[in-house]
Amino acid sequence: MVRFILRRIGISFLVLLGASLLLYFMVVHSGDPLEDLRESNAKNREQLINARIEFMDLNDPWWVRYWGWLTGVAKCFTLNCDFGVDRTGRDVGSLLTQAAGSTLRLVVLATVLAIIIGIALGILTAIRQYSGFDYAVTFGAFLFFSLPVFWAAVLLKEYGAIKFNDWIAEGWVNPVTILVVAALLGFVVQAVIGGETRRRLWTALATFGFVAVVMFVFNATDWYRNPSMGPIVVLLFGAGAAVLVTSLVTGLANRRVLYAALTTAVVAVISYFIVGGALAEPSGWWLIVGLFAVAIVVSLAIGYAWGGYSRRQAMFASAVTGVIMSVIIFADVAMTHVPTFLELKPRPISTIGSETPNFTGGFWESFLDQGAQIILPTILLTLISVASYSRYTRSSMLEVMGQDYVRTARSKGLSERAVITKHAFRNALIPITTIVAFDFAGLIGGAVITETVFGWKGMGELFRTGLDNVDPNPVMAFFLVTGIAAIVMNMVADIAYAYLDPRIRR
C-alpha cells in the first residue's frame, strides 16, 4: 500500500505540473489584462497602466512569468508559499486563505448533509422498491437534479430570506397553515414508515396530532423568536438517538450496547449543567473544540466500561451518541441567544454575503449571523447533491441485495437489519465512495453560480474574477488547491476501497 501511494503521488505531481503549464498558457492568452485601463479617461491612465504592468510582469514572456510562479509555489515545501500578487497588488495567498475558508465553510456542511440524507433515502427506496415512497423520492431526485441552479437560488432568496424575514418579525403561524403542515408531515411519515393500511393510518394521525399540538404550543410561547429546548428535551432527544444508534449497530437485543449509549446521553445532560456557564459566552472556538474532544473520550470510556463481549460495538455506539448529544447541546445554547441576535439584526437572513459587515454581537450572535447566511446556499447545494447520492445508493443497494451472499445471510436466519447494515450496505458503499470523493473535491473548487448569486467571496468567485481580469495568479492558486484536493480525495477513495473490500488489498 505504501509503494502504491508513493507511486500515485509521483504520477499526480507530474500531472499537476503539466496541467499548470497548460492552464497558465491558456489564461495569459485569454484576453488583454489592460483592456479596462486602455478605455479609461483618467488623467493618470499611463501611470495606472505602468503600475499594472509592473505588478503582473507583463513585459516578461509568459514562460518567464510561469517560472516565477512555479518557484514561488515550490517554497511551500519550506512552508513559505508565495502565490504572487493579483493585478491590484494584493497578496494572492491572503485572498486564497479567505476564499478557501469561505468555501470550505459552505461545502463541508452541504456535503455532509447530502451524504447522510442521500444515502439514507437511497437505502430506504432500495428496501421498498416500486412503492409509492420510492416513486416520490425518484421524482424528487430527478426534479432537484435538473433544477437550474440560478433559478432555484433566486427562489430561495425570495422565500427563504425576504419572506422569512417578514414572517419572523411576528413569529406566528396561522392555524390553517399549522393544519396543512401537520397533514403534509403526517402523509410523508406514513409513506416513509410504510406497512399495512391500518398502520399507515395510525402513523399519519399520530404525526398529525403531534405536529399540530407542538406548533400551537410554539405559537402560544413565542417559541419562534425565543427558542430553547432545555435539559428535558435534550435528554429525550439523546435517548432517542441512543436507541436509534443501537438499533442500527447491533439491534436493541444487545443490552450492553444500549445501556452504554443511554448512559452517554445521561452523562451528556449532566455535563450540560456543569459546563453551561462556560458555554454561555465562550472566549473562542478552542473551548468548543476542547469540550467536544472531551465528550468523545468520555463516550469511548463509557462504551469500554459497558461493552463486555461487545466492547467494540458499544464504544462505537457511545461515540456516535456522544457526537449527536454534543451537536444537540451546542444547538440548544445557540438557540438561547436568538432573541439577542434578533435585536441586533431584525432581518436575520441577508440575500448577499457570508456575514454581516461590522456586526457587533458576541460569540454566539456572530455564530448565528454566519449560520443564518450559510442556510440558503447550503440548502441549494444539498438538494442538488442529495439527488445524485440517493440514485447511486439505490442502484448499488439493489444490485448488492440480489447477490448470493445476501440470500445466504437471510437463509441463515439473520435479521433484516443485520443483512442490510452488515452485508449489503458495506458492499454497496464501494461505488458510492468514488462519487463522494470526487463530489467533495469538485465542490471545494467552489460552486461558482451559487457563490455568485449569494455573493460569497469563495473559491469560485476567486477563479471567476481572475479569469475575467486575465490575471493568472488567482486562477493558478485556485487550480493548485482544487487539483491537490482532487488527488487527495482520489487517494482517500482508493484507501477506502481497501477497507471496505479486503480483496482489493491483495
- Cα separation, 325 vs 140, in Å, equals 31
Give the predicted TM-score (pTM) of the model: 0.81
CA–CA gap between residue 121 and residue 110 (Å, rounded): 16
| The pLDDT of residue 243 | 92
**What are the φ/ψ torsions at residue 55 (nearest 5 degrees)?**
-60, -40
Give the DSSP letter string of 306-369.
HHGGGHHHHHHHHHHHHHHHHHHHHHHHHHTTHHHHHHH-SS---SSSSS-TT----HHHHHHH
pLDDT for 131 equals 80
Cα–Cα distance for residue pair 6/334, rounded to 1 Å: 45
**pLDDT tens for residues 10-60?**
888 888 888 889 999 998 888 888 887 877 777 788 888 888 887 788 888
Q: Looking at residue 506, what is its pLDDT?
A: 58
The string of DSSP letters for 224-237 reads: TTS---HHHHHHHH
φ, ψ (nearest 5 deg) of residue 347: -105, 90
The β-bridge partners of 91 are 85
- Is residue 8 within 8 Å of 491, Cβ to Cβ? yes
DSSP 8-state class, residue 85: B
Closest C-alpha to 223, from 339, 331, 327: 339
Domain segments of the chain as ranges: 2-94
What CA–CA distance (Å, rounded) separates 388 from 331?
Answer: 29
pLDDT in tens, 207-237: 999 999 999 999 999 999 999 888 889 999 9
Q: Give the pLDDT confidence of 425-463 residue by residue, as tens digits.
A: 878 887 787 777 777 766 666 567 788 888 888 888 888
Helix 92-127 to helix 425-444 angle (10° resolution) is 150
Quick check: 127 and 399 in contact, CB under 8 A?
no
Q: Is 324 exposed, middle or buried (0-12, 13-18, 19+ CB in 10 A)?
A: buried
| pLDDT tens track for 248-265 | 888 888 899 999 999 999
Residue 442: what pLDDT?
67
pLDDT value, residue 501: 67
Q: What is the pLDDT of residue 446?
A: 55
The ranges of the chain with pLDDT < 50 are none
**Which pLDDT score is estimated for 1?**
65
Q: Do the Cβ atoms of 189 and 133 come closer than 8 Å? A: no
Tell me, what's the pLDDT at 411?
Answer: 85
